[in-house]
């Protein structure tokens, strides 16, 4: 009769054949915890309460909800694999089992001062094609709150500088129109001039181009944004999605219109947008603490 360890070794070999060392290591580690919980009992004898008890023990030991979710997924995968050749393996022990929900993390945003400093045009009068392109990208990222995938997917034909709008294709190729502010329109116009003078005859229709004249890639955008943040003295980690979060938070703080922010962000559900109301409340609480006479700490006098 195959031992639990031998069954795991066989499962590990099947994972290795799939070519994902990270998944193999993570799943084998997770399944070893189930072997420990089962002790000497064969896997086929485990009941639903045994699985629940094993999960609860890991949770009590400090395992994070996200890690517990991966652990439960690994156990399920292992049992499904074994059930293909062993009829005694009972897959119903996992029916209805869910890992504890992880607390939602609040989006990481820049302050309004940091965001404005980050996207402000360079002081120098002379601009290079790269600096003009970067300025336009940053203005669009913060000014429209679009995703990095939406940014690099923009074509020249998606931009209407007369009406001040861009056509964006979001998740699932869902189309929406986003407004362009004057700074973004000016930056795009300046970039299009540079683009025309430097390879404008190329067949590439992408709005933003890389060094070789092809559609720009996400890593290039991230590096350019990180470099700009360093130049502007912003020490915290700055990445494209952080500008998207900042856009949503700042618009909500100014307008208080959650539905409008939902439309601008391209969220299918208002629930996805509601996370920014927590940020808005934090902002209001901070203002209250600083400004209201009953909230300010009394100053000590010497």
Q: Kindly state whether residues 75 and 221 are assigned to the same domain.
A: no
Task: Report the pLDDT value the prediction gives residue 21, as an integer from 0 to 100.
Answer: 79
Domain that holds residue 32: 4-94
Other beta carbons within 10 angstroms of residue 244's beta carbon come to: 22
Asked if pLDDT for residue 300 goes beyond 50, the answer is no
Catalytic annotation present for 244: yes
Higher pLDDT among residues 170 and 149, named by residue = 149
E strand or H helix that includes residue 226 = helix 218-231
Whether 72 and 172 share a structural domain: no
Catalytic one among 133, 195, 244, 245?
A: 244
Confidence band, pLDDT 50/70/90 cuts, at residue 198 = confident
The answer to whether residue 302 is domain-embedded is no
C-alpha 295/C-alpha 73 separation (Å) is 48
Active site residue: 53, 241, 278, 296, which one?
Answer: 241
Q: Are residues 121 and 242 in the same domain?
A: yes
The answer to whether position 243 is within a domain reads yes
pLDDT of 207? 95
Kindly give, in sequence order, each residue whose CB lies less than 8 Å from that of residue 33, ignoring residues fewer than 6 positions away.
Answer: 54, 58, 71
Q: Grade residue 28 by pLDDT with cuts at 50, 70 and 90.
A: very high
* Measured distance CA(82)–CA(9) in Å, rounded: 11
The answer to whether residue 67 scores a pLDDT higher than 80 is yes
User: Is the model's pLDDT at 185 over the cut of 60?
Assistant: yes
User: Active-site residue 47, yes or no?
Assistant: no
Please state the rounded mean pLDDT for residues 51-78: 92
The answer to whether residue 241 is catalytic is yes
Residues with Cβ within 8 Å of 41's Cβ and at least 6 positions away in sequence, in order, are 50
Quote the number of domains for the chain: 2
* pLDDT average, residue stretch 28-32: 94
Statement to judge: residues 68 and 128 lie in one domain: no
Supply the pLDDT for residue 294: 54
pLDDT digits (tens, 9 = 90+) for 40-49: 899 999 999 9
| pLDDT recorded at residue 126 | 67
267 a catalytic residue:
yes
Catalytic, out of 53, 80, 171, 286: 171
| Residue 240 placed within a domain | yes
Please say if the pLDDT value at position 116 is more than 90: yes
> Are residues 283 and 186 part of one domain?
yes
Domain of residue 21, CATH code = 1.10.150.130
- Maximum average pLDDT range among 18-22, 98-102, 257-261, 296-300: 257-261
**Within this chain, do residues 241 and 269 fall inside the same structural domain, yes or no?**
yes
Q: Is residue 104 part of a domain?
A: no
- Checking if the pLDDT of 79 tops 60, the result is yes
| Domain containing residue 229: CATH number | 1.10.443.10
* 125: CB partners within 8 A, 6+ apart: none
Burial of 113 (0-12, 13-18, 19+ CB in 10 A): exposed
| Domain-located, residue 301 | no
Angle at 288 between CA 285 and CA 292, to 5 degrees: 160
Q: Is the pLDDT of residue 149 over 90?
A: yes
What sign does the dihedral 163-167-168-172 (CA atoms) show? positive
Q: In this structure, are residues 271 and 256 in contact, taking their beta carbons and an 8 Å threshold?
A: no
239 part of the active site? no
The predicted structure's pLDDT at residue 302 = 42
Backbone φ, ψ for residue 160 (5° rounding): -125, 100
Options 10, 117, 147, 226, the catalytic residue: 147
Cα–Cα distance, 110 to 242 (Å, whole number): 7
**Does some domain include residue 143?**
yes
Q: Is 255 found in the same domain as 151?
A: yes
Query: Is 279's pLDDT higher than 80?
Result: no
pLDDT at 104 over 70: no
Among the listed residues 139, 146, 156, 155, the one whose alpha carbon sits nearest the alpha carbon of residue 193: 156
Indicate whether 117 and 90 sit together in one domain. Answer: no
Domain boundary among 63, 94, 125: 94
Query: What is the band of 286 on the pLDDT scale with cuts at 50, 70, 90?
Result: low
215 noted as active-site residue: no
Helix (H) or strand (E) holding 167: strand 165-169
**Segment 215-268, tens digit of pLDDT:** 999 999 999 999 999 999 998 899 999 999 999 888 888 787 888 888 888 888
Count the helices and strands in the chain (H runs, E runs): 13, 3
């Amino acid at each position: 009769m195959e031992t639990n360890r031998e069954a795991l070794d066989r499962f590990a070999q099947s994972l290795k054949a799939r070519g994902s060392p990270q998944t193999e290591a993570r799943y084998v580690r997770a399944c070893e915890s189930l072997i420990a919980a089962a002790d000497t009992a064969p896997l086929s004898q485990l009941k639903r309460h045994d699985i629940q008890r094993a999960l609860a023990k890991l949770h009590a030991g400090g395992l994070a909800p996200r890690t517990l979710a991966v652990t439960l997924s690994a156990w399920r995968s292992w049992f499904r694999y074994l059930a293909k050749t062993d009829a005694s393996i009972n897959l119903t022990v996992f029916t209805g089992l869910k890992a504890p929900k992880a607390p939602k993390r609040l989006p990481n945003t820049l302050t309004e001062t940091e965001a404005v400093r980050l996207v402000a045009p360079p002081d120098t009068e002379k601009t290079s094609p790269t600096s003009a392109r970067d300025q336009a990208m940053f203005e669009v990222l913060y000014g429209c709150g679009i995703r990095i995938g939406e940014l690099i997917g923009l074509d020249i034909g998606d931009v209407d500088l007369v009406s001040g709008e861009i056509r964006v294709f979001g998740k699932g190729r869902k189309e929406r129109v986003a407004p362009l502010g004057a700074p973004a329109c000016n930056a795009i116009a300046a970039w299009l001039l540079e683009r025309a003078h430097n390879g404008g005859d190329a067949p590439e229709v992408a709005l933003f181009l890389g060094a070789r004249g092809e559609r720009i890639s996400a890593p290039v955008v991230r590096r350019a944004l990180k470099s700009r943040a360093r130049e502007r003295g912003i020490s915290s980690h700055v990445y494209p999605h952080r500008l998207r979060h900042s856009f949503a938070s700042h618009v909500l703080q100014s307008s208080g219109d959650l539905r409008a922010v939902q439309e601008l962000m391209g969220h299918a559900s208002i629930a996805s947008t509601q996370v920014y109301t927590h940020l808005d409340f934090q902002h209001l609480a901070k203002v209250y603490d600083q400004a209201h006479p009953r909230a300010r700490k009394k100053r000590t006098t010497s």
